[in-house]
Structure 1
Amino acid sequence: MTHILEADISVELTKNSKLKDIDFNNLPFGKVFSDHMLLCQYKDGAWNAPKVVPYQPITLDPSAKIFHYGQSIFEGMKAYKDKDSNVFLFRPLENWKRFNISSKRLAIPEIPEAYFMEGLKALLKADKDWIPTAPGSALYIRPFVFASGNGFHASPSDEYLFIIATAPSGAYFSGKVTVAIEEKYSRSANGGVGYAKAGGNYAGQFYPTQLAIEKGYNQVVWTDDTSHEYIEEAGAMNIFVRINDTLITAPTSDRILDGITRKSLIEIAKAEGIEVDVRKLKVSELVEAAKNGSLKEMFGSGTAAVISPISGFGYQGTDYELPELETSYAKILKTRITDIQYNRTEDPFGWRVKIQ
């Protein structure tokens, strides 16, 4: 069965809500978890009906294949409340589509749209009071799936668990971010899984990032895997570079994630009359722009921070600072996209989805 209505999803409400113990004015990012989660099991060749249950630990056998072969992917989303306490999602079908693109690449059975969307709606209704209303805050949503079947044989699992867990989170302030342009390590490679939101992609980033932190930077800018000549991503985010009045971002590929925030910003920028150039950008071009003063801005884009401005970068032993702009593209675009997400303005793109 692949068709299901929200009313068909069983909901077991917790008897011990943690809600009263939460300080919604001081929420860290992704460390406080809501009362419920969505749970769905794949077994005997099919997905069972999803259900909403109290948030709880998961018991797995030591031979569960997730521990040995890393079959696991995830998504990142947010739910928002407007001033009238209406609840909205932002382009959720794009998350579902990418979830299945990632699943297919890791030989994980795809999730039916109704299971994902109707299950998510049921979960959000159960935990509506967990969606914060402080400025910049939202309910972070983490759908994920992993191999739960047992066995040491190197092959796809025969059982999986699909879960959606949520975490009320405050505004994501990154401050001034400096980055090191990576010259040795690669985030991903042609023909690999860089375009998928696979857990291993992020695990592989931690060590090079730690090396950059030890040198005084906050994050790494990833370059291509063969020549390290081209700018690709910034940490776990897509990257934008403004040279003069043109906004440049790398095209998606086997190596680069098709970020939902990224492609939304591209559309908003074009609607604002900002020239956008989706093309490969050489590190040498970036350095030259920094030297001659034509480099105006760099910023990362993603679900958590939306936009994270970069104040400077290091390359081959030299640090380059970016100017502080009174009116930046980063500020303009972040205002436009968050106004849509929080229902503060019209949505000319049809991206906002209200949870009835």
Structure 2
Amino acid sequence: MVNNISVEKAATSKIHNVDFDNLSFGNTFTDHMLVCDYENGAWNSPKIVPYGPIALEPSSKIFHYGQSIFEGMKAYKDEADGVWLFRPLENWKRLNKSAKRLAIPELPESHFMDGLTSLLRLEKDWIPKNPGSSLYVRPFMFASGTGFHASPADKYKFIIALAPSGAYFSGKVKVKIEETYSRAANGGVGYAKAGGNYAGQFYPTQLAVEEGYHQVIWTDDNNHEFIEEAGAMNVFVRINDTLITAPTNDRILDGITRKSILDIAQAEGIPAEVRKISVKEVVEAAKNGSLQEMFGAGTAAVVSPIAAFGYKGVDYELPEIQNSYASQLKKRITDIQYNRAEDSFGWRFKVS
């Protein structure tokens, strides 16, 4: 447990200038942030300071060798103003999994959880209560140590920044199944939430947008034969009544929403399979009418339905169905997150 988290209060608050009825996603930031430095072989005690710029030397290794990782999570407020997190220890575990892969020192649980809850208690008034809104939480770590030598840094920063955000709604998403570019490769860092993974996605996604699509469905790096992820989300496919998602591996992120969907499906009798799913199988299912749904799963949107996909110059529309798995699963998860329903899984964490 961290007992000595110092707090430097902001001189004035920005909260009165924020239109909470018209929040975009991740563009408005709260008054404070948590900062914690690693130096001399150990993590210092976290401290809460006013949100603002960070001073770094041009030789800081983050700029040259890309040691940077992050997490994405949300804080929710219920009708009684209780503040809740959703499976926060899973985020801490995955942060350290990413850290280990990028040779960044792992962060103690107490630094993560005590720092996070202290920050949220201070900033609780920033958590919106409008339907679908939440406080987006962005923990991240990067190399702050200096030097041009290609080696791990000797100093790192861990920061948690907060952004009150409105409902994340992307409408009807049309995706392109990628045939040329790969998100990640065997033995690489695809399973880590490394900043470079996302930077590498931007160009192929930009090309897809120019063709009239919103996002890319990533395929394996060998033959582009198997479906892996949807943009920055895990992907699910429903053929007839069976929900299918790819197994996690070196290339695929172990999504917390993904795991939650699989647990809910099992509990509620929705047939689900974790296995490789080929592009050929999806295309054939679209042609013969057995492809019922495709959707992405992640923290921002929870579940993002896919209305159509393109492959080899041909677009395939998905049917609009009543009481879809996507809508059922999204409601089940968000009801737990906002403390509107029983949490039989023990996922909800109260910030007290």
1:328 corresponds to which residue? 324
Render the CA deviation track for 1:187-218: whole Å, top value 9, x for unaligned.
00000000000000000000000000000000
Of residues 2, 5, 16, the one that matches 1:4 is 2
1:169 corresponds to which residue? 165
1:66–1:148 CA contact under 8 A, matched in 2: yes
**Amino acid across the alignment from 1:65:** K
Distance 1:164 1:241 in 2: 34
2:231 corresponds to which residue? 235
| Alpha-carbon shift at residue 333 of structure 1 (Å) | 0.3
1:60 corresponds to which residue? 56
1:288 corresponds to which residue? 284
Of residues 334, 337, 342, the one that matches 1:338 is 334
1:105 corresponds to which residue? 101
Of residues 195, 201, 206, the one that matches 1:199 is 195
SS in 2 for 1:109: coil
**Amino acid across the alignment from 2:206:** Q
Q: Are positions 1:127 and 2:127 aligned together?
A: no
Q: Are positions 1:349 and 2:345 aligned together?
A: yes
Runs of 4+ in 1 over 6 A off after TM superposition: none
Distance 1:271 1:18 in 2: 44
**Amino acid across the alignment from 2:111:** Y
**Amino acid across the alignment from 1:76:** G
Render the CA deviation track for 1:265-306: whole Å, top value 9, x for unaligned.
111111111000000000000000000000000000000000
**Amino acid across the alignment from 1:103:** A
Q: Are positions 1:89 and 2:85 aligned together?
A: yes
1:71–1:106 CA contact under 8 A, matched in 2: yes
1:19 corresponds to which residue? 15
Distance 1:167 1:317 in 2: 39
Distance 2:351 2:213 in 1: 41
**Amino acid across the alignment from 1:237:** M
SS in 2 for 1:117: helix
| Alpha-carbon shift at residue 321 of structure 1 (Å) | 0.2
1:259 corresponds to which residue? 255
Distance 2:212 2:75 in 1: 34
Quote the sequence identity (%).
73
SS in 2 for 1:354: strand
- Tell me, which stretches of 5 or more residues in structure 1 are unaligned? none
Segment drifting more, 161-170 vs 268-277: 268-277
Alpha-carbon RMSD across the aligned residues, in angstroms, is 0.5
SS in 1 for 2:150: coil
Distance 1:222 1:48 in 2: 39
TM-score scaled by length of structure 2: 0.99
SS in 1 for 2:332: helix
1:178 corresponds to which residue? 174
1:13–1:126 CA contact under 8 A, matched in 2: no
1:144 corresponds to which residue? 140
| Alpha-carbon shift at residue 236 of structure 1 (Å) | 0.2
SS in 2 for 1:330: helix
* Total equivalences in the alignment: 352
1:34–1:130 CA contact under 8 A, matched in 2: yes
TM-score scaled by length of structure 1: 0.98
SS in 1 for 2:200: helix
1:75 corresponds to which residue? 71
Distance 1:329 1:167 in 2: 29
Render the CA deviation track for 1:245-270: whole Å, top value 9, x for unaligned.
00000000000000000000111111
2:299 corresponds to which residue? 303
2:39 corresponds to which residue? 43
**Amino acid across the alignment from 2:346:** G
SS in 2 for 1:139: strand
SS in 2 for 1:353: strand
SS in 2 for 1:101: helix
Render the CA deviation track for 1:61-100: whole Å, top value 9, x for unaligned.
0000000000000000000000000000000000000000
